[in-house]
Structures are given as C-alpha cells and as structure tokens.
Amino acid sequence: MDYLLNKFTSSGPKKLKIALIGQSNFAADVLELLLSDGHEVVGVFTIPDKGSREDILAVTAKNHDIPVFKFSVWRKKGVAIPDVLEKYKSVGANLNVLPFCSQFIPMEVIDGAALGSICYHPSILPRHRGASAISWTLIEGDAIGGFSIFWADDGLDTGPILLQKEVEVEDSDTLDSIYKRFLYPEGVTSMGEAVRLVAAGTAPKITQTEEGATYDPPMFKEENQIINLNQPAKAIFNFIRGLDSVPGAIAYALDENEDEVMIRLFGSQMFDDPIPDGKPLKLKGLTTPALVTEKGLLITGSDGKVVNVQRIKKGSKMISSSKWFDQTSGQVTLELTDAEKAIETSLKGIWESILKVDITEDTDFFACGAGSMDVVRLIEEVKDAYDVGLENETLFMAPTFQEFFTQLILVSRQGSSSGEINVEYDGFVLKANKREISVPTQLFINGKFVDAENGRTLDIVNPTTEEVLCKVALASKNDVDVAVKAAHEAFKGPWSQVSARQRGQLMFKLADLMEQHKEELATIEAVDSGAVYTLALKTHVGMSIDVWRYFAGWTDKIEGSTIPVNPARPNNVLTFTKREPIGVCGLITPWNYPLMMLSWKMAACIAAGNTVVLKPAQVCPLTALKFAELSVKAGFPPGVINITAGTGSITGQAIADHPLVRKLGFTGSTPIGKKIMASCAESNIKKCSLELGGKSPLVIFADCDLDKAVRLGMSAVFFNKGENCIAAGRIFVEEKVHDDFVRRVLKDLKTMTIGDPLNRSTAHGPQNHRAHMEKLVEYCEIGVKEGAKLVAGGKRVPGMKGFFFQPTVFTDVEDHMYIAQEESFGPVMVISKFKGSDVEAIVKRANNTEYGLASGIFTKDISKALLFAEQVEAGTVFVNTYNKTDVAAPFGGFKQSGFGKDLGREALNEYLKTKCVTIEF
C-alpha cells in the first residue's frame, strides 16, 4: 500500500483549500459537509444555467459567498481552454473534489492542485468503469453494488482507490432506489471522510487491478437503451430496472399495420402469479406477444418466465401499462390560442423556479419532492400571473404539468375567477319544487361519471306518483372492480399526498357546497325517497352538512399515544402508537335517509384518510349521485369517492367480496347484515361495522309529562313515515295512563296531513317504494290475525295515487306476537300495557328481543330513569325525549342490531387501524 506524503506538521490535520467541481444536490450536500468540517472551498465549478434555472450547487455556493464558475466545456479538440484554465488557477486550490461531475476535466486541472483530485464513482471499481456504472450494476444482476472514491488520473476511472463502500443489491432495487437508499447518503458522508483522510495525510492510494475490469457502454446514448427481448426474463427485468426511472428501456410496439411505435418501459417485476386474462400487444423482437392485463404488461422471456411492466412512456406521456389500449380515454385535448401558448411557456418557468428541474408534460409536482409550502406558492403565483382563482386541491387532482396546465386553461376559459369546476355527465332535469335541477344518472368512478358495463340501467320510481323518474346506471361486478381499483390507486397515490389539515379543508368546502345546494338536495330527496321536503331540508340534508363539518374538524386531531413499557436495561425503550387509515372502504347505505346515511359513514371514513366505494340504496340513489358532482367541485382527487348504484345482490355483494376493500360499513336489515358479515370473513377478513334492525322499546310511566310523552311518542313512531331505524317499535304504557295516551294519539292522528312531500303543510309522505308498502299491509294483517287490536290505519290510503300508507295504531299487543317481535320500519305504533310498580319487570320486557339499537323512557322519577338506562340493552337511551341524535354523539346498537358506531369521535375508530412502534435506544 502506497500512502500520500504527509505535507503537514505533526500537530494534526490541516484545513484545506478546495475546488469543488460537479453539480446536483449530491455535490451541494458535499459542499455543506466540507464547510462544516472547517475547510475553505475557494471555488465552485459547475454547469451553465438551464434557461433561468441555476444548478443547486451554484445556488448553495452563492449562499456561502463562494466564487462560482460555470463552464459548458473545459477543453476543445483535446486541449484545455486557456481562459477556463486561468480561472481555475485563480482560486489557488490545493485539492480538487469531484463529488458528481458529468464533464470531462482536463489533466491540467486534475493535476493542478498540490494534493491532486479525488472523484466519486458509483461502482466498486474496477468493475463497471464508465459513465453508466449504476445502471450496469443492475443490468448485469450484480449481487453487490457500491461506490469508489479514487484519485483521478488520465484514464477512464483507472486511478488509485482512496476508499470504497459496498451494499447488497436487493431484488426490488431500481436505479432510483439504490441511489436514494445508499449511493447518495453514504456517498456524501464518505466524500467528507475521504477529505478528512487527505487532510490528515493518511489517505491511501491503492492501485487498481485490471482483473475483473469492465468498460460498459454509456446509457445516455439512445442506441444503448434498446432492450433485447429475446433473452431470459431475469435479464429483461434487470435491463428495465437498470434504466428506471430515467431514461427508460426502449422497446418497439407494433400497431395493426405492423408499424413500429417507440415506447419506454418502467417498473419491472418478476411475475409468478397465474396469468390473468388480457389483450395481446406485439413487441419487436418478442416471439410470443406481450399481454396487457389488469396487473400490467406481461412479457415472457426466452426461458418461459414472465416479467411484469407497470408503466409505459409513449412520447412524453407516461401511462399505466394496464391502460395501454384505452390510453386516450378521458384525456382533454385543447386547441391553444397564441395567448394560451404563452401561458404554457411562462407556467413552465414557474414550475421550474419551484421544483429546480426541467419541466416536461409528465413532470409530477409531488414526485419531484414538493411540499405544502410549494403547493401554496404555485397556486398564489398562478393567481397573481393569470388572475385565475385555482385552489390547492386543483393540484392534487392534476399533479402533472400537462394536467395542471389543462385545468388552468379550462378554468380561464370559463371567464370566472372562482375556479368552479364544470362536471360533465349524462342525466336528466328534475322539474319540481319550482326548480329545474340537473341530476346525474351514471356511475361515478375515478372522478368521472361513466356508463355501467353494457349500458345496463335500472328504473327509479317516484313514490308519490308511481311513475318512472329516470333510469340510473346499474353497476356490475366489473364496474365495482374498476371503482375499487381506482380507490386503491388514489389511496396509495394522490390522496396520500393530501395532509390531514388539507383533507379537512376539502371536507369543509364540500359542506359549504352542500349548503349552497341544500334546497336542490332536499328536493331530490323528497322526490326520490318520499321524504317530506321540510324534514329533508332540516334533517336529511341539514344533518348531513353538520356531519361533514364535524368530522372535518377531526382530521388533524387523530393522534396516537406514548406508552410506558418495561425498559430493556441498560437501554431504554420508547413505545408509541400511530392511528392510520385502513385503505379502501366499502359503504352500503339504506333507503330511509339516503344522503344522511351516506354522510354519517363517509364523512368519518374520509376524515380518517381512507378512500371510498359506496353503493347507495337501489331505489333512491339520486342524492348520492348529486353529492358526487359536488365532491368534484370541492376538489377531491379522482378515485377518493366512488358511487356505484346498483342492486344488493350484485353491486353490494361485489363490494363485500372484493379483496382490495379492507373495511365495510353497512346499514340495513339484520338478515342482510348476517350475509355481509359472512362475506367479509370469507373474502379477506375485512373489518366491518353493522347498523342493523331495531325494535326499540319506549316506556311511558304514569308520572311523566303526558302531553310531552304523547307528542314525542308519536314522533318516535311516525317520524320520517316510520322509516327510521331507531323508531319506537314497542311502546309500553303504564296502565294508569294507557287509555288516555291512546285517546290523545288517535286525536292527533286526525290532524296529520298526508300527501305530496313537496307541500309545505304535509306531515306524512309516501313510503319509499311499493314492495315496502305491501310489506306493511301484510305486517298489519298478521297483527290482526294474532289478536292485537287495530284502532287506526293498517291499510294503504284509499283513493290516493302513490305509496301512501295510513298511520297505524295497535293496542292490546302481547309480547309473543309477531308485531311485538319484528320491525315494521313503517308508521305502525305498537302499544302494550304494564304495571308501574315493578320497574325491573318492564326493563326485562324491554330487553326481551334480539335487537338493541335504541330505547326511551318518560318519567319524572330520576331513580327509575337511571335504573332503566343502566339495565336496558340498547346502544342509545333517551330520557324524556326521543330521536335526539347529534353528530357528536356516538350512534350504534347491541346484539342483532349490529356493532360499531356512526357519529362522534368513536366513529373514527371504525375507519382507523392502530400500529404499535417500539424503539430501543
């Protein structure tokens, strides 16, 4: 081993005068490290500006008042340029450091410093000498990679070695990953270490051997980037990853005329799964056509093994390889005016000034490392430059330059500074309530309204007129699959880039839009589901708005905790938990509160950071589809919210069975809930929460305020036409006041106005759909047959078109009867007597059911109330009130009424998972 002559005194290392020659963040970080070690960097030599953008090394040097020199070339015809050489000599360096240098430096400079020149090279020399060493490490399938710092000489990376560092090359490594994981961070540190060895006079000079040396072609030449597809799959895989993410391996696709189309391949993986169905794609040099599948582009090597390619670049456009054959769908093509072309040029300048990279059409703002302040800066600069009021969310929806520019032009053409987004869809115009409301009728998938597979539709019937209102797209299993995959991609991609606070801002904006359109939403709800308009305005829509605002406030308050655990002496241990979103959540909502049930579940789900595929009720999906339109205008990225209208047996079942759905929230009947739970278990053991049937007891003691008990007791049964999951399905009245209670109820029933839900005086609208109305008729017939006394109603309203059912009252109901055990889900009051002397006996009767959703008690005796609240088996207990729900109060049942909570802080738990992290230090 030959050591550098120690030119320093015995007092120790000296501080050096260094000329830094290179470029990029790597060189900038080396500069900072050398300065922190106390060395004097007397000059920085880097590449010229690209347009208005300086290399980051030049910017960093100027921040430290270091002289900067920018040379496009250092020599001409093999001879050093005198002016360049003179400027180099002017700084008086005694060591040249080349941390990342893409230029050829003449020997007059290499030897111009007294201590010589040290250079960083990304390979374990002597293997892979040349400009593309990292690529060849991967292309050749080396098990070991690393870097060398060598003493530069007049050869091609042939100078003596100063130090080397090695790393195992993982099967998943790409050009990017190995650089970020090891070559960059360890390389910067080792450059500092090498300079310290030089300063101390202990830096070795180990002569390179020629044994094992390779001289690999430079991969910056296009002819060297062409992949040979006639080789084993592992070699194909290695070649692609060796050029990932730049410049990409070149292949040639053959179109229907056998013409060659140049493409670049990215994201290779060895593929060992069963081959899925796909469409063949001919590639030049490949005997067996490649296969475009939902998994990616599958290429079979000469050994019969398969490589999966995830992304294809055609021209400047990067697409998912699975979408090769529909790559043009959904794209917006703009014919630009001269003024708009000027905007495109200046907008590129804004992006370059922020990102410090060359901007192409597919430059991804976030993939370039941009943060939240960069988002704000871009949006504000765009507002200032073009007087167009885009929102931060626009960038989340359109993160690439071309997508963002397209949105900018589309908004500017609208002539509005509000930046409101126009949403295109097929639908119909609802003319009702003195309004004309445009309503979508397509599925909403990945941010767009689309037809169902094969154009299938289902009829939506107006329950007031019994006429077909419109036809809505009917989602198939394949449609659900597309929606779930869109939600999965959004969860892993754009949605993960949205911070918790920004997520809350999106939710607040959506709530504001719902408020602006509340009359439209309430009108749709009244016509589509039969809800009385005034109730729809206050509850169906009003509470929906409240719940979005409530959970918007929770987004940045979802926290883990630190946990004291036994330390591992002599070390310490830190244990903490993280609350994380689950992923894609499936939601299946009922027909009694279409918009409100959507909001109860989805707001908590979105607040927790998940993405959603929702199936609204088959019979009334229209407010869900209108809501989807508003979500686009609010700025939610594509794929975060998906609405798939359809049947429970096909659409709902497909959501429950899908392996990418990790959580399912369901509100509906107990029998269907059991099937849902079984599907969740059999598919992938997905987490589920169920809000199912109820037969809620309401106990009225003689010592209560009877006027209030009658008024709220009627509301407890007849609210929302009885289509209310917590409706009082059994009313127990103390015998002392039983007859008086019944008399007052019957009297008040006569004043209840039944009719058109859009009429402001209407108190009782039609049942939601025909099948339910017919079920209510049958329910009442069973009650009469078993001996209960029908004192009011029990039939369809005579002489009135629409699904109108008479408010009904049964008395003398015994606990064993069908109507005392089973839910009607309609306007049917079931009354039983009890003796007030035995409180525990009436609680026992109240609990004599498999349901446990809600309950209520009217009494002035606080002891009775508290005893009832303690012993009743129900998720909600109302005392001297009923139907008093609030967005901040948890809602959910026990027993066969399901499990899990909607609303309140507890609802977030349904859509979060807890991760425990333990660190020993």
Which residues are identified as catalytic? 121, 691, 725
| 649 assigned binding-site residue | yes
| 428 assigned binding-site residue | no
Q: Closest by alpha carbon to 19, among 106, 86, 104, 117?
A: 117
| 536 assigned binding-site residue | no
| 653 assigned binding-site residue | yes
Contact 136, 216 (CB under 8 A): yes
| 893 assigned binding-site residue | no
H runs (alpha helix) in 518-607: 518-529, 533-535, 542-552, 594-607
Reading the block at residue 310, the tokens are 């995830």
Widest Cα–Cα separation across the chain: 115
Q: Closest by alpha carbon to 375, among 488, 501, 554, 487?
A: 501
> What are residue 585's DSSP bridge partners?
612, 663
Phi (first) and psi of residue 299, to 5 degrees: -115, 125
d(CA 703, CA 484): 55
Q: Classify residue 315 by burial, with Cβ atoms within 10 Å: 0-12, 13-18, 19+.
A: exposed
d(CA 309, CA 296): 6
The answer to whether the peptide bond before residue 48 is cis (omega within 30 degrees of 0) is no
Q: At what angle do helices 338-355 and 401-413 cross, to 10 degrees?
A: 140
> What are residue 701's DSSP bridge partners?
none
β-pair type (448-450, 457-461) = unpaired
| 668 assigned binding-site residue | yes
Ranges assigned E (strand) in 782-842: 789-792, 808-811, 828-834
d(CA 540, CA 534): 9
| 617 assigned binding-site residue | yes
Q: How far is CA 359 from CA 348, 362, 427, in A?
A: 6, 8, 39
Which residues touch 713 (CB under 8 Å, ≥6 apart)?
698, 700, 728, 731, 741, 745, 829, 858, 882
| 855 assigned binding-site residue | no
| 652 assigned binding-site residue | yes
Q: Closest by alpha carbon to 764, among 799, 727, 805?
A: 805
Reading the block at residue 245, the tokens are 């993410």
| 222 assigned binding-site residue | no
| 302 assigned binding-site residue | no
Contact 461, 547 (CB under 8 A): no
Ranges assigned E (strand) in 58-108: 68-70, 75-76, 79-80, 95-98
| 542 assigned binding-site residue | no
d(CA 41, CA 21): 11
| 23 assigned binding-site residue | no
Instruction: Kindly provide the b/e burial profile for residues 827-857, where b requires at least 16 CB atoms within 10 angstroms of the residue's own CB.
Output: bbbbbbebebeebeebbebbbebebbbbbbb
Ranges assigned E (strand) in 272-420: 278-281, 290-293, 296-300, 306-314, 317-320
| 651 assigned binding-site residue | yes
| 221 assigned binding-site residue | no
Which residue has 């929906």 as its token pair? 544
Contact 462, 430 (CB under 8 A): no
| 582 assigned binding-site residue | no
Q: Annotated binding site: which residue ranges?
A: 103-105, 157, 615-618, 648-653, 668-669, 775, 823-825
Q: Annotated binding site for (6R)-10-formyltetrahydrofolate: which residue ranges?
A: 103-105, 157
Q: Annotated binding site for NADP(+): which residue ranges?
A: 615-618, 648-653, 668-669, 775, 823-825
